[in-house]
Amino acid sequence: MNERISLLYSGNDYAFDGVVTSLLSMTKHCQRPLDVYVFTMDLSDKDPKWKPLDARHVAVFDEILHRANPASRAILVDLTKEYLAELDGNINEQNLYTPFAMLRLLADKAPLPGKVLYLDTDTIAMKDITELWEQDVTDYHFGAVLDHYGKVFISPKYVNSGVMLMNLAVMKQERVLERCRELIRTKKMLFHDQSSLNKVSRGHIKYLPHKYNDQKILHKDTVIRHFAKTIAWVPYFHTRNIKPWDEQMLHKYRIHYVDDILAAYLEIKKNFLDKNPIKN
């Protein structure tokens, strides 16, 4: 019952809001000790907005974790050198998504345990994640849920990698991430990191129930609500990109089931900015 759960997030300093809201929800429902790994890198020489997360951010993550369980911890992993060596200037670097989306493809280069639950920063736990963590992926590269739109427009077996229970030990043995990086370097893809994982791990993915990665609406059995970009067809075709830290958008669309998480986040963000004012 006291087994540690290993979580993985990644991003630049803009990911702070998402990691905070996600961790607030994870610790609300799960009191088991969490090892939270956060991948980051410094690419500010390429774009001033691509600054890394740093010790100030990790101190906030630790504070959230310790409130639920003093044995939990946040570990910042800087993969700047690894990214520059493996993926710098790749043909997918200029994409709909920033290069930070590719950081998880360097998980084999980081000091991680053999099993880790990767989460996009726009994920919110609605129930205890222990049942997801305990899914058996022994014979698979990873476990994931079918992508809400990808299963229709790309392939019936196309999964969303925003929630991914990684059997990292097997992925290392079979050079899965190394092969993904090779694809990233050589093949232009719209959803580069996600599509590379789908291609390389085809036939080795455990398909998990939708409740572990609900990408569009909340259901009674939802364990993780993923605030991914969605499509709306009326009154005209358009996309919606509502995030769990965006109070205005949440309430515009009458989403109130994360109000307690939102309130806690807003207080944390205010305190953080008071101590670390943004410099013009």
Q: Within a domain: residue 26?
A: yes
Q: Within a domain: residue 195?
A: yes
Q: Within a domain: residue 276?
A: no
Mean local confidence (pLDDT), 51-70: 97
Q: Within a domain: residue 234?
A: no
Q: Within a domain: residue 273?
A: no
pLDDT, tens digit, 9 for 90 and up, residues 86-121: 999 999 988 878 899 999 999 999 999 999 999 999
**Is the preceding omega at residue 235 within 30 degrees of 0, hence cis?**
yes
Q: Give CA–CA dist 153/157, Å, rounded.
A: 11
Token couple for 261: 């998480």
Mean local confidence (pLDDT), 165-185: 97
State the average pLDDT for the chain: 94
Q: Within a domain: residue 267?
A: no
The domain that holds 35 is classified in CATH as 3.90.550.10
Residue with tokens 């609300």: 28
Q: Within a domain: residue 64?
A: yes
What end-to-end distance do the CA atoms of the chain give, in Å?
48
Nearest-CA neighbor of 257 among 15, 28, 17, 8? 28
Q: Give CA–CA dist 207/66, Å, rounded.
A: 33
Domain of residue 138, residue span: 5-226
Q: Within a domain: residue 190?
A: yes
Residue-wise over 131-167: b if at least 16 C-beta within 10 A, else e? ebbeeebeebbbbbbbbbbbeeeeeeebbbbbbbbbb
pLDDT the model gives residue 234: 61
Residue with tokens 């997801």: 132
Residue 33 predicted with pLDDT over 60: yes
Residue 200 predicted with pLDDT over 70: yes
Q: How many C-beta atoms surround the C-beta of residue 182 within 10 A?
A: 15
Domain count, the chain: 1
